[in-house]
Structure 1
Amino acid sequence: MDSMVRNSKEAQRKAAMAVLAHSGATEIAGRLADITVPAHENLREPENGLVMVRGRIGGDGAPFNLGEATVSRAAVRLATGEVGFGYTLGRDIQKAQMIALCDAMVQSAELVGEVEAKVIAPLRAVMIAERSRKAEETAATRVDFYTMVRGEG
């Protein structure tokens, strides 16, 4: 039972991080303004760096180094002890800081409901609406090809 609870919390945390990573920094900041941000300290100051991006090629999916990508990362600890980590593509250290803060708050039993309702859920709704809009635009340009079968005569 304990492992099921742990797995569901990890899944909730993973889903929240996916939403935050795909959202814009101004959108996250706007949603965070709606809640009271708890006292926290930086465990790792926000910083920029590089990561190697790997790809797969060939019939067996052999990995190869595709190139490097710029990332920003941060780590925070709430006054209650929860530790959050934030990573994002690009050079946006404020976004990495906000993601780390949200990650820590998602782990807090007292804050998870408010963060989910006021930050994560609205951002998820925007993300889903944007994906639906893009899918509709793409579907509108779809061309169906068909082949007519000739009779042998």
Structure 2
Amino acid sequence: MDRHDETGPDEAGPDETARRRTARVLANAAEADLAALWQAWPNQPEIEFVRGPESGLVMAQGRIGGTGDRFNVGEATVSRATVVARGLGAETVGTAYVLGSHPEHAGLAAIFDALLAGDARQRVLDEVIVPLEHAQAQRDARSRADARSTVVDFFTVARENSGPDFGVDGEDDE
């Protein structure tokens, strides 16, 4: 029995949900923030890039009505990287995908993903993931507030033409 038999193809277990969360936070973080966090990281492990970082294209898909048949929307540029971290206990592997042509960002995200798989997991969660997630939530809230402040409520008023028809000069045409 595979994972899809147990949870269904669109359901995720707790480990997969946590992995999606950390991958999303690392991918949505600013590259400069990740670089600063990595520079400040004490006792950096030895990092070996197994794949990339490199950029390429993926086919983006959509669903009719959000739940219907899939269709190809178009291509999107994605950067990916896979690293091995050595020196802090067990050897761990980290992988990251970042939308756009940002190979350095993908490399940094993969490094933190590798650290999440090892003994430094709780530290990465506390010092990297939670602060970045909080900053992203604040940024998103500001963006939503800015969008809400420009909302205009339009309403339709039915024009009734029961009155006299005025000509160009404003006088009654009768």
| TM-score w.r.t. length of structure 1 | 0.81
Q: With CA pairs under 8 Å and 6+ residues apart, which has the higher RCO, 1 or 2? A: 1
Q: What is the root-mean-square deviation in Å for CA atoms of aligned residues?
A: 2.2
Size of the alignment, in residue pairs?
Answer: 141
What amino acid does structure 2 have at the position aligned with 1:85?
Answer: T
Matching residue of 1:99: 109
Gaps of 5+ in 2: 1-12, 158-174
Q: Deviations over 1:31-83 (max 9, x none)?
A: 22221331121111211111001122369722221111111111011112211
Cα deviation for residue 120 of structure 1 reads 1.2
Matching residue of 2:148: 139
Matching residue of 1:151: none
What amino acid does structure 2 have at the position aligned with 1:12?
Answer: A
Question: Greater Rg, structure 1 or structure 2?
Answer: 2
10, 30, 48: which is aligned to 2:16? Answer: 10
Cα deviation for residue 13 of structure 1 reads 2.4
16, 22, 26: which is aligned to 2:28? Answer: 22
Cα deviation for residue 146 of structure 1 reads 7.1
The whole-number CA distance in structure 1 between the counterparts of 2:16 and 2:66 is 34
Identity over aligned pairs, percent: 37
Higher helix share: 1
Cα deviation for residue 21 of structure 1 reads 1.0
Indicate if the aligned counterparts of 1:35 and 1:114 stay in contact, CA closer than 8 A. Answer: no
Any idea what SS the aligned residue of 1:61 has?
coil
Matching residue of 1:65: 72
**Gap change, CA 1:127 and 1:146, over 3 Å in 2:** same
Any idea what SS the aligned residue of 1:35 has?
coil
